[in-house]
Structure 1
Amino acid sequence: MDKAGRKIRAAFEGLQSLWNNNQHIDLQSVETLTPEDFAVSEIACHGFPYQPTCLAYDPVQKLIAIGTQCGAIRILGQPGVNVSIRHPNKSSVIQLQFIFNEGAVISLCSDCCIHMWNIRLKRPEIVHSLRFTREKLTLMYLPFQSNWLYLGTEKGNVHVVSIETFTLSGYVINWNKAIDMSQKHHPGTVVHLSECPSDDSKLLIGYECGTLVLWDLKDKSVDSRYQCMQRLRSACWHCDGKQFMCALSNGSLMTWTMKKTTEPTDLVIPLSKLDCKSFNSAAASGAGNTKLPEVDWCTQRGSEDLVLFSGGTPFLNSERPPCITIMRGKSVSVLEMEHPVITFITLWDTPYITEEQDCSAVAVLLQNDLVAIDLKSEGCLCFENPYSMNIHDSPVTCCTYLSDCPIDLIRALYAIGSKQKKRGYTSKNWPLTGGVWSSSPSSDPELVITGHLDGSVKFWDFSSVSLQILYRLRTAKFFEIDESCVRTDLNLFSITHILLCAASRYLAVSGMAGHIVLFKFNRQESSAEVPVLQIQAFGSPLYHHVSPDKSPANTSNSAKTPPCCTNTSANFSSLDSDSCSSLAKPVSYYPVKAKTASTKRACGYQTDLICLNAWPSLSLPEAISAMALNSAYGLFAYGTDQGLVVVDILQKCCITVLETAELYGTGDATSLRSPKGGAALNEKIASFDISDNRQSSEKQDSATSFTRSNTASSENAQHSSKAYVKMASKSMSLAGKPPKPSPRERTKCSSDRESLDSPDMGFEEGVCYLEFIENSSRIEQLNGINLWVGTTYGTVIPVNIKLPEQEQRLDSPVQVTIAGITLTKQCGFILSIGFLDSQCNMLLPPVKFFKELDQENSLAKNRVLRRANTLVTSVDVEGMQSKSDTLDFSSSSSSSGTEKKEWNVAEQYIVICAERSSRVLSLSNLSTTLFNFKYDFPFVQASVITFNAKPIIAGCFSNGRIAAYSIPSLRPLIDVPFFPPNLHCLETVKFGHQGTGVYMCSPTELLKFAISAHFVQDSKDALGSLYLPCVMPQPPKTNFFKELFNINSRNTVDRKELFGESCGKPLKNVAQRIPMQTLSAEVSQKKVNTTNEVAKARLALHERGEKLSEVEDRTTALLDSTKSYADQMHEIMLKQKNKKWYQL
């Protein structure tokens, strides 16, 4: 008996050890990632610079620089050369100045600092900085091939700075020495500085009041003065150095000569019909034209001179169109712009101001765009901008990022999108050719999809460093706004969510009005009608009450329009009184209507299905909060703030509509429900039949009739198919029974299931995350296809999906069953859910590829559904059951519960990431949490991604920190500050696989970043080079006779002798040099990474010490057991030693 008991005990211990081994995860073999594998860095910034302020051009290197109000500088060259740098204090950039062909840029900021940037580096850095403390700087001017920088101040003084040492010279031009002694008022700020092209010892100084002074640098005196009757805005020289032109505040242009200083030689108000006959008269000052902010006087070989200016239009302020005016002789061309003009600069070929410029193009910096105009083309056509400056044509509302997009999808989008390109551009190439383009370090094709306020969706190729537009899709053209809509303040067509299945090319887009459009990619044009499903508001009546005077036959044959899923051909407002008396009128409002007319659809993404969700009231939108699509199952699910909707995209019908409280069933959901008891008590089965000739059953009085929407039929067509739904739930009220409690009451009754530390108490529970997956578990309810639902209360609920046999997929109903299992104890919204196999590898749902969709209409019986990621054990089971690749979905558990499928169960794990915590559980034992980690700050965005073929959790906190955690131990891998603490920016953060991501760093810019140390190291070469060694152009040749008779000969001056030590020391405390104690961004990032790595190393050392202590304890226990075993063996040996052989 004892021997049998020992055998039973040994067998029981063996089973228990087997179970424990299945639950144990070998972290050393599974988790191979270390903090050394992670580092955060910006890769590239694309889009238009937000809030631009100034523009600069290098004619030798062919580069353009744009400054912004937030302290950023964008340097652009040839297509692909795009570098963004930022000042450390983020002060507004007032002016930029290239040092021609030297690889340096000088920036003047609003904090009275000037900085010199070295752009020869792949990541430009500041090498010198100087701060003025007594005066506020307004502009700067650097002559060509000069080492001395002129600085104008708000007080009217002019200072000189050496750009070699960035020190202030003692040479100062004070305003009281420049103006006339008879002038009583202060001249104002310095608005213009320039040297005379023919004599570099003469400096033209323009003051705001209209006074211009030609200063002699050698004599330190005024050579001549010019006085305008209006305020001065800008001035420019002619290349001969004998005359200059001024732009005034009244929209007039004045031309002055060097010899005649009393009055201008010419006065023109080009955009006014006012005939000015007298110069500086009251008539000229009374012109109702706007100011001229900037003017430029340039030449063209073989043509007349060009005068370009902005502004000057004779319109009122409310009607003032932004424009650029080009004057060529007597002809005037006014080019109207779409956005306000910030500044412009002519793109000349040579840096020598004495040479006649062959100006061929002009770059115009607008408030929201950068335009280059071809001055030599007829009609002044624009160059096609190779940079992605039009991300913000309509404000970006959401974005999606695919870091592993199939290359054939990008090629298909490019082929279709190339037909959408705008026409009317000049045939010439982009005039900027500076820098060297480099390829992206990532070999995977990358795709970014942006949704916009006007309902448009744009596809961008992010595979290389430059961002390229591929395809544009407009969703607003499929809808029209209802006339009774009262929310005129909302942009109803604004895109809220975008979901793309890259394998099948299905695209789902949701809008602000609660509408969802499902698109299908088609290479050819089509003209089919679009099916439309109308989903009524949650909480509205779900049943039609049949009047007693009508027979069941009439009831079954009559065309009914149930409230949950209605036909668009039926209009409740047009029902007669008899229909209204027999049916309960639903409370629903649809702010937008789908255009159901058959129209020709262009190739590309074509509408496959439209879902319209009713608003709870006339002023309260029904917001879409989550979407999930699976092409292999042919199912689409989306969640709102009130519940869940599942749609069959193959049969074009609504499967089920459930409020969030109905997902729990009727019972206590505070802890894990018993699988058997929960299924028996709370099971809800929704079965559908699409047959047109299906008869009503005997239980039709307790069933809800759903009409499948089909907009392919017109108003007179009455042959639309019907889907009958049988709801077997006891929690739903039928006709004649007490109504179910309101959502608020159900929320109040089920408040026990909420986590005590959840910050989301106080509002109704909604759906915030959805995921389709096929699971294998020892819990019977989790075997098969599941739709995992995450709620705003931190609850995770699985919903079982049973598909019919593949031969009957388009005819048989799809069954949806609530599993009766609830996972609680989360903190905050559910942000992401991931699934792992027994080796902790990422599990992906099955997909159907695009090539297989072409065969879908043929109804082939042996249609293959390839899986993106299949368990090894599942493959073995399928291999034993069938030698074909066809998946059999009919073997799922029957609704009666009598038939059970035998599963070769392989361990799977679920990773739940919420706002304030993350958990890892086994699907075979959901009551036990394997790993748990709580955060100090809430997550704003988080995703379960793969990094070096290993799953991790990557996310961003509300304080702007970016973090990554290993799976399954949830060990911190990186946690550093990176994002701006701006909620609007953080909500757009999207993480991709292999450690890359994107986010909208401003309303007009899209920034790509990486958390991979290897990727960051390779990205340095991806930026290319801004500076290329170029030979300086030869100076213009001087005519022998002109030089002999000293005609137009250029006088030169030794500036080093003039501005050097001989002029004395500068005044104290006027300017001070900023010591370069601040490390560069790269060094600072390395310092932060080193600090974090040291902290993590200490943590790892502590963990190692604990493990060593455990090993030491185990070793001691093993030694003790070994010693006791040796003593027992010694005693047995002593007992048996003196016994004879016959006594044994």
Structure 2
Amino acid sequence: MLGKIFHPMAPAKHNAQPGGMASTELDVRIGLHYGIPSTSSIMAFDPIQRLLAIGTLDGRIKVIGGDNIEGLFISPKQSPHKCLEFLHNEGYLISVSNENDIEVWDLELRRMAYSLQWDANITAFSIIQGTYFMYIGDEHGLMSVVKYDTEERMLLRLPYHTTANAVTEAAGISLSCHQPIVGILPQPHTYGNKVLIAYENGLIILWDVSVNRAVVVRGYTSLQLKDEKIIGSSTEAGDEIPGYSSDPEHEEKVICSLCWASTCGSILAVGYIDGDILLWNMSSSQPAKGQQTGVSSNNVVKLQLSSADRRLPIIVLHWSPSSGPHNNRGGQLFIYGGAEIGSEEVLTVLSIEWSSGIETLKCIARVDLSLNGSFADMILIPNAGASENNPTAALFILTNPGQLHVYDGANLSNVTLELEKAQQFPVLVPIIDPSMTISKISLVPSDGNHCKALLVIASSMKNGVAPTLYAGSKWPLTGGVPSPLSFDENIGVERIYIAGYRDGSIRIWDATYPVLSPVSVLEGEVPGINVAGISAAVSALDFCSITMSLAVGNECGLVRVYKLCRSSDERSFHSVSATEREVHTMACREGFCCIAVFSVMNSPVRTLQFVNSGAKLTAGFECGQVAMFDMGSLSAVFQTDCVPGSSSPVISVAMKVLKQISSIVNSLEHQQPKNPSNSAEGVLFILTRNAHVVVIDSVTGNRIGSQPFHPKNETTAISMYMAPVLDLK
């Protein structure tokens, strides 16, 4: 359904005066977004269309498919999402915000289709898959039903409501006060007619919607603990801890999480605030009205991950059935929480099985997965095919800030394999691993041969192997259809996106269309030549589309220059320092080849700018100096202090060729300036961080005017832009 989301980024035509700007050009919106947002907090998956959705704390939703297809939805209200779920194979995504707005997102149209403000605090939400119906539970114990009408494009509140009092009265029990609904789960294979309702105080009811009747009632207060079975603690897998006696008559256990632990909906796993996990037998033996069920020890088994007195709540529970014909008698239970308070943060995977009833349940293996960052959410990705019985193809774990790690499902089904090995979610544009330090986007002239040459290089990158999981399984996200224009070989590369990284590397993408495609990866080194400091973090970039040259500055003061090579050949490499110059011969492959490294200053490079149509390159440094390099002779022309006695970093450089530069500078300085030696070469305007602007001769490096001009008040500058001179006649 993402196929129609993306369109080519054609330049818009506006009715504006030459050199002017139309009002529509000021309507700034996010057109593209790559990577995992740093505030990501919740995930959802469509097992049929193979799309992953990631909700954030600021109201955004990231949708990721295959072939580097990514989309971003932005809610008008910057509120966290507490529920997120796809309408499977329908092209809609439903989210519930912390402000209780139920939002329907249309994936095809890439926009919000409808929003409904609920009149109570929503505490539980679930979609009846295969339909457009949804269950909503609130803080007052009321369960409601809504439906999304695709023709009217709106959410309809249906007249069906079930109060906590009506449910408990039908079950023959009583509640002391209104209890919030903390979980709603449609029972598998019942088409939504039977739904599991969990209340905060531990009461669990399997409710038949069609006849308004309680089918099964479970709850901690009905449990006889003297025969209770406790497994899954820090003891060896399969061992049991002897039961103990307790009087639970007035004891309540607050529910934090729950999930079905069988494909047919006969076993329910419930996590509690005290760190316990209870597996309940939800088989529907019909009780008479007024008779509580669940008093038999055959109805429940307790799992404990730790024997400590103070344990973390069970925040998340997920179930993955075993593969094979007996997948209804075992699987893996994924648990976040239950460990001793203060212990290392882990995600626990318990492999459990039972031969007949729940009383035969045993834990056969336990694995604790260490987390890289604090836990945010997890999701199990099933194998392709819509069956609920499919085993897990992959485990996605989301941690802060915005890190997504993947485990191969083939390892999850084989507990003897090492599960500790997670792979970073592959992103087209890395931001964290490796850490991006700077980036820019540049145009490539479409009327020359350069765009065709870049297309050839990009095509070779596209022929790479599709990502796989560590155990060799296929990548589970395959949804979406990229724009067909992305594959038009008659259109060259007209726009490139360049990023520099902390490890010294450079990555270049074809940004002609919204679906970026890689062009080149330049490592932070020169093959066969040892240059000290060359792999330091990238701190400055510039690209000249006329000469197809790329300049890269780093934190050690080195400036690397790359040039586009259209064929594999030997080229000269120049290493230029303040005192010497070395020339080496090195083999270059088709693509960007490093032709020079300048090391004239032991200070981080803060800005780079090609001038004179790429004939020269200026570099501004942290120490407040500026250097000029000649790209023809690959030599240093000059280096100079911007402001004597000041070490404010140079943050921006611009050059202008102006015939009347003398009068302009004179009007700024109110003094007689020094004339530039060659007005055809122009002058350099240099901006420092303390907002001083210095004008120098671009040939000699001499200052024009004795003092820089600057604002009256102390100011920290960010950037500088030289506006074009308009002919107002």
Short-chain TM bin: 0.5 to 0.7
- Report the AA paired with residue 259 of structure 2: A
Does residue 131 (structure 1) correspond to residue 131 (structure 2)? The answer is: no
Superposition map of 1:169-248 within 5 A: 169-176=158-165, 178=167, 189-199=180-190, 200-228=192-220, 231-248=255-272
Query: Identity over aligned residues, as a percent?
Result: 16
The number of residue pairs the alignment matches comes to 610
Alignment partner of 1:791 out of 647, 668, 687: 687
C-alpha displacement of 1:223: 3.2
Alignment partner of 1:311 out of 336, 360, 384: 336
SS in 2 for 1:319: coil
Cα distance in 1, alignment partners of residues 214 and 468 from structure 2: 54
Name 1:968's counterpart in structure 2. Answer: 726
Superposition map of 1:107-122 within 5 A: 107-121=95-109
Give yes or no for contact 1:508–1:518 (8 Å, CA) kept in 2: yes
Give yes or no for contact 2:571–2:595 (8 Å, CA) kept in 1: no
Distance 1:787 1:423, change over 3 A: farther
C-alpha displacement of 1:193: 0.8
Give yes or no for contact 1:531–1:652 (8 Å, CA) kept in 2: no
Name 2:314's counterpart in structure 1. Answer: 291
Alignment partner of 1:770 out of 641, 646, 653: 653
Name 1:963's counterpart in structure 2. Answer: none
The range that moved more, 820-829 or 159-168, is 820-829
Alignment partner of 1:643 out of 625, 640, 658: 625
Distance 1:383 1:472, change over 3 A: same
Give yes or no for contact 1:417–1:471 (8 Å, CA) kept in 2: no
Cα distance in 2, alignment partners of residues 197 and 102 from structure 1: 20
Superposition map of 1:275-290 within 5 A: 286=309
Distance 1:526 1:255, change over 3 A: farther
Cα distance in 2, alignment partners of residues 89 and 650 from structure 1: 54
Post-superposition CA distance 1:355-390 (Å, at most 9, x none):
x33544444444424455442467579899665263
C-alpha displacement of 1:145: 3.4
The range that moved more, 54-63 or 324-333, is 324-333
Superposition map of 1:745-894 within 5 A: 767-771=650-654, 781-786=677-682, 788-792=684-688, 795=693, 797-801=695-699, 816=700, 818=702, 820=704
Cα distance in 1, alignment partners of residues 45 and 633 from structure 2: 60
Cα distance in 2, alignment partners of residues 150 and 29 from structure 1: 52
Give yes or no for contact 1:383–1:430 (8 Å, CA) kept in 2: no
Cα distance in 2, alignment partners of residues 800 and 602 from structure 1: 32
C-alpha displacement of 1:238: 2.0
Alignment partner of 2:438 out of 398, 404, 407: 398
Cα distance in 2, alignment partners of residues 526 and 288 from structure 1: 65
Q: Which has the higher strand share?
A: 2
Superposition map of 1:335-414 within 5 A: 335-339=369-373, 340-347=375-382, 349=384, 351=386, 353=388, 356-357=389-390, 359-367=392-400, 368-371=402-405, 373-376=407-410, 387-388=427-428, 390-404=430-444, 406-407=450-451, 408-409=453-454, 411-412=456-457
Name 2:87's counterpart in structure 1. Answer: 99
- Report the AA paired with residue 789 of structure 1: F
Give yes or no for contact 1:215–1:224 (8 Å, CA) kept in 2: yes
Superposition map of 1:1044-1083 within 5 A: none
Question: Normalising to structure 1: TM-score of the pair?
Answer: 0.45
Question: Normalising to structure 2: TM-score of the pair?
Answer: 0.68
Does residue 498 (structure 1) correspond to residue 547 (structure 2)? The answer is: no
- Report the AA paired with residue 257 of structure 2: R
Cα distance in 1, alignment partners of residues 257 and 588 from structure 2: 51
C-alpha displacement of 1:184: 7.3
Cα distance in 1, alignment partners of residues 587 and 344 from structure 2: 39
Give yes or no for contact 1:341–1:366 (8 Å, CA) kept in 2: yes
Name 1:160's counterpart in structure 2. Answer: 145
Cα distance in 2, alignment partners of residues 360 and 765 from structure 1: 55
When Rg is computed on C-alpha atoms for both structures, the one with the higher figure is: 1
The range that moved more, 286-295 or 400-409, is 286-295
Distance 1:601 1:298, change over 3 A: farther
Name 1:571's counterpart in structure 2. Answer: none
Cα distance in 1, alignment partners of residues 438 and 597 from structure 2: 21
Give yes or no for contact 1:56–1:97 (8 Å, CA) kept in 2: yes
Name 1:261's counterpart in structure 2. Answer: 294
Superposition map of 1:596-995 within 5 A: 608-609=596-597, 611=599, 613=601, 624-629=605-610, 633=615, 636-640=618-622, 642-647=624-629, 655-661=637-643, 743=645, 767-771=650-654, 781-786=677-682, 788-792=684-688, 795=693, 797-801=695-699, 816=700, 818=702, 820=704, 968-969=726-727
Post-superposition CA distance 1:993-1022 (Å, at most 9, x none):
xxxxxxxxxxxxxxxxxxxxxxxxxxxxxx
Distance 1:461 1:322, change over 3 A: farther
Distance 1:825 1:424, change over 3 A: same
Cα distance in 2, alignment partners of residues 515 and 645 from structure 1: 11
Superposition map of 1:25-36 within 5 A: 31=18, 35=22
Unaligned stretches of 5+ residues in structure 2:
1-14, 221-252, 286-292, 354-362, 662-674
Name 2:48's counterpart in structure 1. Answer: 60
Distance 1:51 1:635, change over 3 A: closer
Cα distance in 1, alignment partners of residues 212 and 636 from structure 2: 86
Give yes or no for contact 1:247–1:294 (8 Å, CA) kept in 2: yes
Cα distance in 1, alignment partners of residues 701 and 600 from structure 2: 24
C-alpha displacement of 1:432: 3.3
C-alpha displacement of 1:528: 11
Cα distance in 2, alignment partners of residues 177 and 446 from structure 1: 63
C-alpha displacement of 1:438: 0.5
Alignment partner of 1:48 out of 36, 39, 58: 36
Give yes or no for contact 1:256–1:266 (8 Å, CA) kept in 2: yes
SS in 1 for 2:677: helix
Give yes or no for contact 1:175–1:187 (8 Å, CA) kept in 2: yes
- Report the AA paired with residue 306 of structure 1: G
- Report the AA paired with residue 790 of structure 1: I
Give yes or no for contact 1:193–1:205 (8 Å, CA) kept in 2: yes
Cα distance in 2, alignment partners of residues 33 and 162 from structure 1: 50
Cα distance in 2, alignment partners of residues 410 and 325 from structure 1: 50
- Report the AA paired with residue 52 of structure 2: I
Name 1:896's counterpart in structure 2. Answer: none
Cα distance in 2, alignment partners of residues 312 and 186 from structure 1: 28
Give yes or no for contact 1:194–1:205 (8 Å, CA) kept in 2: yes
